[in-house]
Chains A and B, each alone.
Chain A
Amino acid sequence: MGSNSLHVLKGINFKAEDGELVAIMGSSGSGKSTLLNILGMLDVADTGEYTLDGVPIKDLSETKAAQYRNKFLGFIFQSFNLINYKSALENVALPLYYQKVGRKERQEKAMSYLEKVGLKEWASHLPSELSGGQKQRVAIARAMAAEPKVLLADEPTGALDSTTSYEVMDLIQKINDEGNTILVVTHEEDIAHMCKRIVHLKDGVIVEDKKIKQVRAQQHV
């Protein structure tokens, strides 16, 4: 808000293919989070086009944006952003609730995703009873629960120690292996190299965009 507008992104031309695992890198203030927010329909670009899975994203009403976010996108945040009075299972089930999936089916689905991230036994625990790595895994399960087209991860390992970071990256790689498209914003070199493509941002423009050889996180665990 505020009366001063600041141009953070100054001409980004970027296209992610189906099944890609892209790291968006850059120092702080380079515009990587802004880019991710625009991709996540949490923010709107002043100008330009954004097409997601063939659907042009523009002039969205809040209601429409909420629908698209729910259907197309899964978010993974640095600070996990779990709802702290809901259990792990309920957190994972939340996007399904907004899709109006029936209670029973919702629970089953959420449970299967929790199982996928290895937290089945923790289903009834509140976020406060989980470690950082576990919270992030719950968040990942939640992001996947709605079976979105794209997973957007904003510094997913930013609040974790390196071992846990690698565990989380391992999980992200596995999800990517199943064919999911994932965008990871990070400023950590090693995390970026666990992706398949690195996009470097500097002062709001892409300075480098290269495909790399993926480093499997498994090796570090």
Chain B
Amino acid sequence: MFNRDRWREILEVLTSNVGRTILTAFGVCWGIFILIVLLAAGQGFENGIRADFGDIATNTMFMWTRRTTKPYEGLPKDRSFEFKVSDVQAIWDHVPNLRFVSPRNQLGGFQGGGNVIRGIRVGAYNVYGDYPEIINQDPMTVTSGRFINHNDIREKRKVAVIGQGVKSELYEKGEEVLGSYIKIQGVNFMVIGTYKKNSNDGDGEESQKEIFVPFTSFSQAFNRGEEVGWMAITAHDGSSISRLKENIIKVMKERHKVHPEDNRAIGHFDLYEQFNRVESLFVGLKAIAYLVGIMVLLSGIIGVSNIMLIVVKERTKEIGIRRALGEQPWSIKMQILMESIFLTIISGMAGIIFGSLVIYGINSLLDSVGPVDMFINPSVSVGVVSGALVILIVSGLLAGFIPANSAIRVRPIEALRTE
């Protein structure tokens, strides 16, 4: 089946009209090229967006209080209220499948002036009162010292973990950071660690300028009492936070005497929902890339099919001779099919190589001009390439199918009559 003679014949047929073969091949080459480049561009976009999300636990929601908009149980509307520390335990008790419930308090933020002092240096930073679990929800790498722990929480130690950005602004280069003190709104905290976050979105710099202190010490130092500013709640991987959040909010409404239909009293941001929305965008992008690529490829395949029909027509007499000499119909069919598959695969390979070169070029361009927003490392995986090869083989088969059948429909007697 795959012997030397057959290969020689395939090459002879395809090289007998080189110009035509190349033009035909170009159709398939172009189709697969488009497919590869589109998929790579989609991947680049996906990589870019994913990098924006960083390592944040995506199955997470954030929740904060606002003013009520409906009177309820004798309480007026426009009433402001705060989450309490006891709400955390209530959430644990009433909602299953949660992984972390982190109450948070915050100083600074958008309007924050210079709130941190060290010696003669002053800085404006976000200061968070947090539980140790926050490091799993908003991942960061501790570069020196340690992160806050439960002993810090229990003993209300005035310790702080500062970001790289804080360190470079408040300290001289090479100065010892651990064990030194910074003054946050007039209260001294000892620095016990530094961290670095690895996201590269727009506020990447901002996220390196944060200070984490134990939640309990924060409350005490800054007179927050039992108040909780907001909460970061992460569900277990198996269950989506988007489905659990209704329940959580319901529990909160009950505890704070908020009208059950008052949808604006408790604000929340569902990261998982956002993430899912982006995820489905990726799926959509990929589908479009495949659709467009395969459509373009299809016109290439039709070209191949067309040429194979012409080849069969041209070789009608030869086919007649060969059948008169006793070649089996399946063998002729096989010959035409293999020519078609061979042509598609060769030209498809050219397309894949060409596409890879273009992707490689774009990558080195990106490397030289520096990072572009929302576009990182466009690439196609080996899986995609092998998928493309499968598509090629199938399309070669399809392209050769009609010509091969028309070849064996030729009756030798009629073929020989063609002069």
B322 engages A94 (CB within 8 Å): yes
| Chain B residues near A95 (CB-CB < 8 A) | 325-326
Decide yes or no whether B170 CB sits under 8 A from chain A.
no
Q: Considering the complex, give the chain A residue whose CB is closest to the CB of B414.
A: A1
Q: Considering the complex, give the chain A residue whose CB is closest to the CB of B413.
A: A42
Decide yes or no whether A66 CB sits under 8 A from chain B.
yes
- In the complex with contacts A42-B324, A75-B324, A85-B329 CB distance below 8 A: no
Within 405-419 of B, Cβ neighbours of A (below 8 Å) are at 408, 411-414, 416, 419
Docked Cα-Cα span, A103 to B328, in Å, equals: 18
| Chain B residues near A69 (CB-CB < 8 A) | 323-326
Task: Select the residue from B5, B16, B324, B412 with max chain A CB neighbours within 10 A.
Answer: B324
| Chain B residues near A75 (CB-CB < 8 A) | 324-325
A94 engages B324 (CB within 8 Å): no
Decide yes or no whether B254 CB sits under 8 A from chain A.
no
Decide yes or no whether B122 CB sits under 8 A from chain A.
no
| Chain B residues near A77 (CB-CB < 8 A) | 416
Docked Cα-Cα span, A112 to B320, in Å, equals: 26
Docked Cα-Cα span, A81 to B412, in Å, equals: 12
Category for how many chain A residues contact B: 20 to 34
Chain B interface mostly: helix
Docked Cα-Cα span, A33 to B4, in Å, equals: 36
Within 1-52 of B, Cβ neighbours of A (below 8 Å) are at 3-5, 12, 16
Chain B: interface residue total (CB-CB under 8 A): 26
| Chain A residues near B16 (CB-CB < 8 A) | 85
| Chain B residues near A71 (CB-CB < 8 A) | 326
Decide yes or no whether A30 CB sits under 8 A from chain B.
no
- Nearest Cβ distance between residue A152 and chain B, in whole angstroms? 10
Docked Cα-Cα span, A95 to B331, in Å, equals: 13
Decide yes or no whether B209 CB sits under 8 A from chain A.
no
A79 engages B326 (CB within 8 Å): no
Within 90-117 of B, Cβ neighbours of A (below 8 Å) are at none
Could you list 13 further interchain pairs (A-B, Cβ under 8 angstroms) beyond the known A83-B318, A98-B327?
A42-B411, A42-B412, A63-B330, A66-B328, A70-B326, A79-B419, A81-B321, A81-B416, A82-B321, A95-B326, A99-B326, A103-B5, A142-B325
Q: List 9 A-B contacts (CB under 8 A).
A: A40-B324, A42-B411, A63-B329, A68-B326, A70-B325, A70-B326, A75-B325, A95-B325, A103-B5
